[in-house]
Structure 1
Amino acid sequence: MDIGVAGVGRIGEMHATHLAELDGREAPDKILLFDPVPERAEAVADSLPEHVTAVASFDELLAADGVVIATPTDTHADLVRRAVQAKTPVLCEKPLGPDMPTMTDLVKEIDASGVEVVVGFQRRFDPATVAVRRRLRSGEAGSVYLVRAAIIDHVPPPKEYIPTSGGLFKDCLIHDLDMVPWLIGEPVVEVWASGSVLVDQAFADAGDVDNAVVTLRFASGAHAQLTAGRHQPVGYDCRLEVYASKQTLAVGWDEHAPLVRVEPDPIEPKQPWDSFMQRYKNAYLNELRVFADVIAGRAENPSPARESLNSLRLAEACEESMRNGRPVRLEAQ
């Protein structure tokens, strides 16, 4: 099996490195890299094993058995469309498209084509998060009362990335906007969001915010409180709590949590994560293993394109709520 990687910036290089680490039946025979920046793909390929090579165009990747798309957000829809038209399965970083009209049209094409497109929401491949979902869906944890989630970068992203990121809701918080409804299994009926620029004026210059809070209300009356930010001075911060009628479940409350505890016997964080790539390495590896199995017909797609419409819809509702300063009601889909 040959797999291509389009875009080898920080995310694409990570995917290429992880592909080269895979073993067993999921390990690619060849890994092909393309990047529009001259010589970037060659430099990454030279740092990896011999079965990783650079190619001169995106079209050359489409001859592979599958392609990973890790280019800037505003290029995803076009490249996914080209891959689908070539009948090449895709693993694409989120989101597939920059807005709902673009996404809706693209998902219709994907559905009609029969080509598998896996959306890169890595939490769906994280063992602890999957365990939370299993307990919720089986009834073991009981009915959900409240969910709290935090996602905060250790250091802000590069300034040149900010204008093309899609914004805090579509770039960062979209992971929680995908994960929480996926865990609970019921629709969001109301969204309230607020944001501020507290870290760097560069976010305001790009029409973005660097700190935000979101409240989701679900059809059952359960709520989720989501927080996101671009700077956590101690380390990368990504935690989840689910309060339910039988159990309270938590993910991310371990020695890596970048929290300075100030009780009488204070506990300092021992090994805080530096970044989401370090924190979710196992999830990213699992994502690639599952993608290989999806290509080979050994597994069903756990993160299909149509489901990712919901997270983008919620992200746009967050943006609308923040602009207008009031909750946004959502009709059931």
Structure 2
Amino acid sequence: MRIGVAGVGRIGSMHASNLVSLPDVEQVLLFDPVPGRAYQAAGGLGDRAAAVDTYEGLVADCDGVLVATPTASHPHLVRGAVAARVPVLCEKPLAPDLAAMEAVVAGIEAMDGQVMVGFQRRFDPATVELRRRLRAGEVGTVYLVRTVNNDHLPPAGEFLATSGGLFRDCLIHDLDAVPWLVGEPVVEVYASGAVLVDQAFAEIGDVDNAVVTLRFAGGAHALLSASRHDPVGYDCRMEVFGSKDTLAVGVDEHTPLNSLEPGAPRPVAPWPGFPERYHHAYVNEMRVFMEVIAGRAENPSPPRDSLTSLRLAAACEESWRTALPVRTV
């Protein structure tokens, strides 16, 4: 199978490296709008990687295309691949704002396009197992979901201005994963945020620490927290409290927590960032994409689901600005 990668920045290069490691990938073709960048990236990936000069050439030569370019270019590139009847895996988000995303999703559905959105937690083995147990009733009635989403070090300044902000860039993963796990609509959102790490966040109208409360239709709640700085390491975990069991994802020797209980173990090599923490998820995402291309698997991350998480992120921003809860249905 030949897979194209559009965009060879940090994320695109990571995906390309994962793809060339898979035995079922015959060739990985790379395109980047920066002249020479794709050829340089291909040179470091071995004989199964090659570069092309245009996105149209990439689409024409591939069985599926992975879009990892800057967000503003996603709608155009996704539409181009869908029009050519080529399956797409697009890094989140599909579009930079809600109106644009609604238009993209409507267009994909009108053309019956095959598009997967890259929310990597839907491919994380432990998270997938948690969803299986929830669906099987092994947790019972869900009382509460609690998540932590902390960067080890704040992102670079040039990234912040185009990131979309903490709610849309960082917490969007929780806003996707938690409703997907619970299986109920969110009816109300309340969010609060502060600038505690660096005033650079305030200068662009963002926050670097935030908490969010979600209330689900059945009465369960979720408590989400995020920070742009954790001095111990990257921390991304989830706990689900139910009437039959309490389950956790992301709690192991890498979890950057220093317990004060006597004899408690210290964290061992905490993850430095999300690529390391979710390495298995990203590799599995590539495998699943290939199964979807081949028609052997259902799309586990369809475009319409990404509308849900972006609407919740917008509700979080409104709640943060107004200091009031926001109804979402």
TM-score when scaled to structure 1?
A: 0.96
- TM-superposed CA distance for 1:8, in Å, is 0.8
| Maintained 8 Å contact 1:73/1:166 | no
In the other structure, the counterpart of 1:320 is 318
Pick aligned residue for 2:71 from 70, 73, 94: 73
Q: Is the 8 A contact 1:70 1:92 kept in 2?
A: yes
Residue 9 of structure 1: aligned partner: 9
Instruction: Name the SS of the counterpart of 1:288 in structure 2.
Output: helix
Contact 2:319 2:326 in 1 (8 A): yes
1:35 equivalent among 22, 32, 36? 32
TM-score by length of 2: 0.97
**Bigger CA drift: 100-109 or 184-193?**
100-109
How far apart, in 2, do the equivalents of 1:65 and 1:58 lie?
14
Q: Is the 8 A contact 1:213 1:226 kept in 2?
A: yes
Partner of 1:22: 22
What is the percent sequence identity of the aligned residues? 64
Which is worse superposed, 95-104 or 278-287?
95-104
1:74 deviation in Å? 2.2
1:280 corresponds in structure 2 to 278
Question: What amino acid maps onto 1:145 in structure 2?
Answer: Y
Counterparts of 1:84-163 in structure 2, within 5 Å, are 84-163=82-161
Write the distance in 2 (CA, Å) between the matches of 1:5 and 1:209: 32
1:168-187 maps to which residues of 2 (within 5 A)? 168-187=166-185
Give the Cα–Cα distance (whole angstroms) in 2 for the partners of residues 83 and 54 of structure 1. 18
Q: Which amino acid aligns with 2:25?
A: P
> 1: CA distance between counterparts of 2:202 and 2:81?
35
1:254-269 matched pairs, under 5 angstroms: 254-269=252-267
Unpaired runs of 5+ residues, structure 1, are: none
SS class of match (2:105): helix
Q: Following the alignment from structure 1 to structure 2, what is the Cα–Cα distance between the partners of residues 201 and 219?
A: 37
Candidates 183, 189, 192, aligned match of 1:191? 189
> How many residues matched?
328
Deviation at 1:266, TM superposition (A): 4.5
| Alignment partner, residue 297 of structure 2 | 299
Please say which of residues 97-106 and 6-15 is displaced more in the overlay. Answer: 97-106
Residue 228 of structure 2: aligned partner: 230
AA aligned to 2:291 is D
Q: Is the 8 A contact 1:95 1:119 kept in 2?
A: yes
1:76 is matched by which residue type in structure 2?
A: H
Give me the CA root mean square deviation: 1.1
- Residue 328 of structure 2 corresponds to 330
Q: Give the residue type in structure 2 aligned to 1:186.
A: E
Is 1:210 the counterpart of 2:236? The answer is: no
What letter is aligned with 1:2? R
Deviates more, 1:62-71 or 1:32-41: 32-41
Partners of 1:294 and 1:138 in 2: CA distance: 24
Instruction: Structure 2: give runs of 5+ residues left out of the alignment.
Output: none
Q: CA deviation at 1:233?
A: 1.2
Q: Which residue of 2 aligns with 1:56?
A: 53
Counterpart-to-counterpart distance in 1, 2:229 and 2:37: 28
Q: SS at the partner of 1:68?
A: strand
Structure 1 Cα separation of the partners of residues 32 and 253 of structure 2: 37
CA offsets 1:172-225 (integer angstroms, 9 cap, x no match): 111100000000100000000111122222222222211111000001111000
Q: Distance in 1 between matches of 2:35 and 2:157?
A: 21
**Partners of 2:229 and 2:58 in 1: how far apart?**
36
Q: Residues 195 and 207 of structure 2 are in contact (CA less than 8 Å); yes or no, is this contact kept in structure 1? A: yes
